[in-house]
Structure 1
């Protein structure tokens, strides 16, 4: 149990038998009336976001979430296999839990696997990853100064929008949050 005064981003709460991650929170002390805590919560299993307000100091049940850095090994066609780098124990994760992250994972890449009571809740990738553009149409000379984009297929099979000057075979940095977006070229 914790108090709503102890909330932090990323903390997981057990509310009515469901697990909710704290996305945002704000302590509000109005001029009149008691203080309260306004939160934005994300359901760990369904991904649904809700806004919820608690009275300040209210007790909330926290869930124990074990976050471990694991290495992504391979996809066997049914599930994604991760290995704990400390114990070499392998964990199979269903495609529904991996979700969009699958488009930015390469074999042997590290990711954080969050579990609760032995059940995998979600996969957390680094904020950005470096991937090679496996296919994109050639850009037109002189178009590099504009902010226009074109579709590009990455080595993982994911498709994102990139600037017109990006060419096939180039390594780029991709933001893994919010479905992936182009950040920059990787030099070298």
Structure 2
């Protein structure tokens, strides 16, 4: 779908210079001399490079609609992660580095959203929060002030997170997968 350059908004995905770009920031500029333009900060969806472009209102760009599908995480196979389409039961294999550091948060049966462009995966989103068990937690140091009393703890997936002093080994906690931070105790 073609849109004018001044209609680009943050979050829009456009085709530009032969690649797929997502608009991160936009700023409508009306200089005293010359025509108005839209200053857009773009991020490449494939390799993550950034670019600043000016789009005049007379210019048109191709806005791309990404298909979002739900997949269920099945298992790890070497350097690949195997997912299953929730509707068609077709399997999708993605490289671990495509998912990135957050791959350690994947749990059997977890539902993830995969963004597809022309049936090719270009992005993946995990749930914002996951429940994990603490495998080891440092003991509380007596005399610590209440303000800075968070202590390091190791979760079952091998990632360290700072937790309050009352959290002990074996407890289940909820962790934010974006910030990799403690949220609260699990019920």
TM-score by length of 2: 0.84
Alpha-carbon RMSD = 2.4
Partner of 2:159: 158
Query: Which segment drifts farther, 91-100 or 133-142?
Result: 133-142
| 1:20 pairs with 2:17 | no
Q: Look at both structures and tell me which one has the larger radius of gyration over its CA atoms.
A: 2
Query: Which segment drifts farther, 92-101 or 32-41?
Result: 32-41
| Contact 1:143–1:164 (CA under 8 A) maintained in structure 2 | no
Taking a change above 3 Å as real, the CA distance of residues 151 and 34 of structure 1, as seen in their structure-2 partners, is farther
Partner of 1:7: 8
Query: 1: distance between equivalents of 2:74 and 2:169?
Result: 26
Taking a change above 3 Å as real, the CA distance of residues 148 and 61 of structure 1, as seen in their structure-2 partners, is farther
Query: 2: distance between equivalents of 1:29 and 1:108?
Result: 51
Partner of 1:186: 185
| 1:157-180 C-alpha deviation (Å, 9 max, x unpaired) | 233333444322222232222xx3
Shift of 1:76: 1.1
Shift of 1:123: 0.9
How many residue pairs match? The answer is 186
Partner of 1:84: 85
| 1:174 pairs with 2:183 | no
| 1:35-91 C-alpha deviation (Å, 9 max, x unpaired) | 222222221122223333322352112334211121111111231111111111111
Instruction: Report the 3-state secondary structure (helix = DSSP H, G, I; strand = E; otherwise coil) of the residue aligned with 1:10.
Output: coil
Which 5+ residue runs of structure 2 have no aligned equivalent?
Answer: none
TM-score by length of 1: 0.83
Query: 2: distance between equivalents of 1:147 and 1:38?
Result: 42
* Stretches of 4+ aligned residues off by more than 6 angstroms: none
Taking a change above 3 Å as real, the CA distance of residues 183 and 57 of structure 1, as seen in their structure-2 partners, is farther
